[in-house]
């Protein structure tokens, strides 16, 4: 089971919106030096809604090739079309990704049975470990815990990224999975402000937007939590709390791309309909970066 910090890497772009693969490779090297467990490419933070199909392929392959086995590569392959999700997962497998992250189908509002059949079909068609991604604040559709339990029994479906931020619900799901004999079903927090609580309840890792700018600190928090060192886990998290909040003052990845540009990691390129971070948020986010030790 993959545990610890997985970074949902942004898609670097030039100021006119062209993919910047050289910057992507530099980011990958920086995250690996900071000892992240994995790289998640073309997820929400990677601007997947504005990336076309050919670019999606390009980003997955470029990441797999450059990581070259130094870390786990989880490819974002979700879609609100089951056929497209299958195609993306098949490509990810073909070029050597280690797993895929498949978001709950958005906009068309499938039933729980539709969600179950969607993910089961993808897993049956493509022999690549699949991590479910539930983020109802973006997709509208919500993957119910009972459906997660059903899907946990499907060969090839190995985990869940839980971005609900609902700790009570996470507690119930962890208990239900354990009772169902699925302690090996990986659970990753996708909500930074509640991620430490999620880990201490029995979660296995985080797919953390904050780790895009503070990988060393998130790795330290995850490791302390895993060994039961609550004091150091809390100490690491305490410096990150302002970042957890300020990185979501506007829709992700607008704030995190702005922050990374301030740190000199990427240029400020972003694609419409996303717009640059509003000026009133600049100084509060700079201060949060300073508090976390990301800016001098």
Q: 115 falls in which pLDDT band (50, 70, 90)?
A: very high
| Nearest Cα residue to 48 out of 110, 128, 121, 133 | 133
> Is residue 289 over pLDDT 90?
yes
Rounded-to-integer distance, Cα 274 and Cα 295, Å: 25
The confidence band for 1, taking pLDDT boundaries of 50, 70 and 90, is confident
pLDDT at 190 over 90: yes
Alpha-carbon distance 191 to 206, whole Å?
8
The 10s digit of each residue's pLDDT in 139-177 is 999 999 999 999 999 999 999 999 999 999 999 999 999
* Domain range 4-239, CATH architecture: Alpha-Beta Barrel (3.20)
Mean pLDDT of 194-219: 97
**Residue 178 reports pLDDT greater than 90:** yes
CB within 8 Å of 228: residues ≥ 6 apart: none
Q: Would you name the residues annotated as active-site residues?
A: 133, 161
What was the pLDDT predicted at 244? 97
Residue 296 has pLDDT above 90, yes or no: no
Distance from C-alpha of 85 to C-alpha of 104, rounded to nearest angstrom = 11
Outline where DSSP puts E strands in 77-143: 99-103, 130-134
Report the C-alpha gap between 51 and 206 in whole angstroms. 24
pLDDT digits (tens, 9 = 90+) for 68-100: 999 999 999 999 999 999 999 999 999 999 999
Task: Give the SS3 label for residue 130.
Answer: strand
Provide the mean pLDDT of the chain: 97
């Amino acid at each position: 089971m993959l545990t610890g910090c997985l970074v949902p890497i942004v898609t670097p772009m030039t100021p006119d919106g062209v993919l910047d693969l050289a910057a992507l490779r530099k980011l990958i090297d920086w995250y690996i030096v900071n000892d992240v467990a994995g790289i998640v490419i073309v997820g929400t933070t990677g601007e997947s809604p504005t990336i076309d199909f050919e670019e999606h392929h390009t980003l997955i392959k470029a990441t797999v090739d450059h990581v070259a086995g130094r870390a786990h590569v989880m490819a974002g392959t979700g879609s609100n079309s089951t056929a497209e999700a299958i195609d993306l997962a098949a490509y990810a497998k073909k070029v050597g990704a280690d797993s895929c992250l498949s978001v709950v189908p958005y906009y068309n509002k499938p039933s729980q049975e539709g969600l179950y059949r969607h993910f089961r079909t993808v897993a049956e068609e493509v022999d690549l470990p699949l991590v479910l991604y539930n983020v109802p604040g973006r997709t509208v559709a919500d993957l119910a815990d009972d459906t997660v339990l059903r899907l946990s029994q499907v060969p090839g479906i190995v985990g869940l990224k839980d971005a609900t931020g609902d700790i009570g619900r996470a507690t119930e799901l962890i208990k239900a999975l354990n009772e169902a004999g699925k302690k090996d079903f990986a659970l990753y927090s996708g909500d930074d402000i509640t991620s430490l609580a999620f880990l201490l309840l029995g979660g296995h890792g985080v797919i953390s937007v904050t780790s895009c700018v503070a990988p060393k600190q998130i790795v330290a928090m995850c490791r302390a939590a895993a060994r039961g060192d609550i004091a150091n886990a809390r100490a690491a998290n305490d410096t990150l709390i302002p970042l957890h909040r300020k990185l979501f003052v506007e829709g992700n990845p607008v704030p995190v791309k702005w922050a990374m540009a301030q740190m000199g990691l990427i240029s400020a390129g972003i694609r419409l309909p996303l717009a640059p971070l509003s000026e009133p948020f600049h100084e509060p986010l700079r201060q949060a970066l300073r508090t976390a030790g990301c800016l001098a």
